[in-house]
């Protein structure tokens, strides 16, 4: 399978490392021989129809850009590469923009219009235009997969779609953002919101500008993706009622603790309402996890409640989700 990799940050580099470490067993166990034939970052590109040398590609990135892979290599426009390089799959791994969805949305649309399957770890396009992107994928007869957008390496979307197949999920709720969960867990230990946020930044769990997490945008984006994929809804970010955690005080946390509860940023969906807000949760509830863990409880019509818990972020974890999507595309499309 020939791959165009757009975006070579933490996830893109982790994916390259994963292919290096697993190339032999990928073929023996799954019949997959992935080749990255083009890679683009924000400063340059590298192209090789025979497949890029991944160790050399990673070394080039250490020098500043994959454009250093070849001396004098031209910087191509990502859309030009997506449309003109022969490949079966495009992996969209550029940074998330929840305001415009760009440049990821344009990359995905160009890939699908030229008959390429798409794996996205970029939440922006899916949070803002999920229904139309799925429609475009169906129209062009290609697959759009996005396991890494929710739960990192934890197969939350697959669990809901496959393990609960045959039943009907009527609602779900959970913790979808590890950064806010870490902050709230630290507040349980007595830290103020400001001190817990500073600690999260120091440990690398929160960005320098953490509002994407703390204001609930990241959780809302994941909620939208899940609602569309799992519940068959047709919703976008504007359909989510969203409240972040910046208003939570230590006194609120202590008050909840006195009742045997904890305050968590809960993303919830039933057939009508999409909501992200700080919520009191019983400490006996399986979704009441601490630190950077994610947890989701699905309520089904017949099988009751099922909870899945795991790490929600990390380069290698998300790269493993990309690999899972790649194997699914191979199994679904290339064995027809």
Longest CA span, the chain: 65
Same domain? For 199 and 172 the reply is: yes
Question: How many C-beta neighbours within 10 Å does residue 39 have?
Answer: 30
- Domain of 287, CATH number, reads 3.30.360.10
Q: What is the pLDDT of residue 73?
A: 64
pLDDT tens-digit readout, 65-103: 999 998 866 677 999 999 999 999 999 999 999 999 999
Whether the upstream peptide bond of residue 172 has omega within 30° of 0, thus cis, is no
Same domain? For 237 and 120 the reply is: no
Domain encompassing residue 196: 156-311
Same domain? For 305 and 160 the reply is: yes
Write out the H or E segment, with its range, that includes residue 333. helix 315-333
Of 61, 222, 234, 284, which one is the catalytic site residue?
222
Alpha carbons 80 and 159: distance in angstroms, whole number? 36
pTM for this entry: 0.92
pLDDT tens-digit readout, 132-153: 999 999 999 999 999 999 988 7
Q: What is the pLDDT of residue 316?
A: 87
Please name which of 263, 166, 281, 265 lies closest in space to residue 223, comparing C-alpha atoms: 265
Same domain? For 137 and 171 the reply is: no
Alpha carbons 73 and 57: distance in angstroms, whole number? 13
Same domain? For 147 and 171 the reply is: no
Write out the H or E segment, with its range, that includes residue 273. none
Alpha carbons 36 and 49: distance in angstroms, whole number? 9
The answer to whether 45 and 5 are in contact (CB under 8 A) is no
* Band (120; pLDDT cuts 50, 70, 90): very high
Same domain? For 125 and 247 the reply is: no
Query: Strand, coil or helix: what is 69?
Result: helix
- Domain of 117, CATH number, reads 3.40.50.720
Same domain? For 289 and 185 the reply is: yes
- The alpha carbon torsion through 111, 117, 123, 124 (nearest 10 deg) reads 20
Mean pLDDT in residue range 230-253? 94
Same domain? For 169 and 247 the reply is: yes
Task: Return all residues near 176 (Cβ < 8 A) that are at least 6 apart.
Answer: 150, 151, 218, 219, 222, 223, 226, 267, 294, 296, 312
Same domain? For 14 and 38 the reply is: yes
Same domain? For 175 and 302 the reply is: yes
pLDDT tens-digit readout, 162-211: 877 788 899 999 999 999 999 999 999 999 999 999 999 988 888 777 99
Place of tokens 């989510």: 240
Query: Strand, coil or helix: what is 13?
Result: helix
Domain count, the chain: 2
Same domain? For 303 and 324 the reply is: no
More confident residue, 144 or 318: 144
Query: How would you label 23-36 residue by residue, b for 16+ Cβ within 10 Å and e otherwise?
Result: eeebeeeeebebbb
Q: What is the pLDDT of residue 25?
A: 84
Same domain? For 188 and 271 the reply is: yes
Task: Return all residues near 202 (Cβ < 8 A) that are at least 6 apart.
Answer: none
Whether 61 sits among the annotated catalytic residues: the reply is no
More confident residue, 335 or 107: 107
């Amino acid at each position: 399978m020939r791959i165009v990799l757009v975006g070579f940050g933490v996830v893109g580099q982790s994916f390259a490392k994963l292919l290096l470490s697993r190339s032999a067993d990928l073929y023996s166990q799954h019949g997959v021989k992935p080749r990255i034939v083009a890679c683009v970052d924000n400063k340059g590109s590298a192209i090789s129809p025979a497949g890029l040398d991944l160790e050399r590609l990673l070394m080039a990135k250490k020098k500043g850009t994959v454009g250093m892979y070849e001396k004098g290599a031209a910087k191509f426009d990502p859309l030009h590469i997506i449309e003109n390089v022969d490949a079966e799959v495009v992996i969209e791994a550029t940074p998330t923009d929840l305001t415009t969805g760009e440049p990821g949305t344009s990359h995905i649309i160009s890939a699908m219009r030229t008959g390429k399957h798409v794996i996205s770890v970029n939440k922006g396009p899916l949070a803002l235009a999920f229904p139309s992107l799925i429609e475009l994928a169906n129209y062009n007869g290609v697959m759009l997969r996005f396991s890494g957008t929710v739960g990192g390496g934890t197969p939350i979307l697959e669990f809901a779609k496959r393990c609960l197949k045959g039943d009907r999920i009527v609602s779900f709720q959970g913790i979808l953002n590890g950064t806010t969960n870490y902050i709230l867990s630290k507040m349980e230990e007595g830290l103020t919101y400001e001190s817990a946020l500073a600690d999260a930044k120091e440990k690398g769990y929160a960005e320098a500008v953490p509002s994407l997490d703390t204001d609930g945008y990241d959780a809302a984006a994941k909620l939208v993706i899940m609602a569309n994929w799992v519940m068959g809804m047709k919703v976008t970010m504007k359909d989510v009622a969203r409240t972040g955690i910046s208003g939570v005080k230590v006194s609120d946390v202590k008050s909840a603790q006195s009742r045997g509860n904890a305050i968590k940023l809960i993303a919830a969906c039933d057939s009508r309402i999409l909501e992200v807000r700080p919520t009191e949760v019983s400490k006996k509830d399986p979704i009441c996890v601490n630190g950077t863990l994610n947890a989701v409880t699905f309520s089904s019509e017949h099988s009751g409640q099922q909870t899945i818990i795991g790490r929600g972020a990390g380069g290698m974890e998300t790269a493993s989700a990309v690999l899972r999507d790649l194997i699914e595309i191979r199994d679904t499309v290339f064995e027809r």
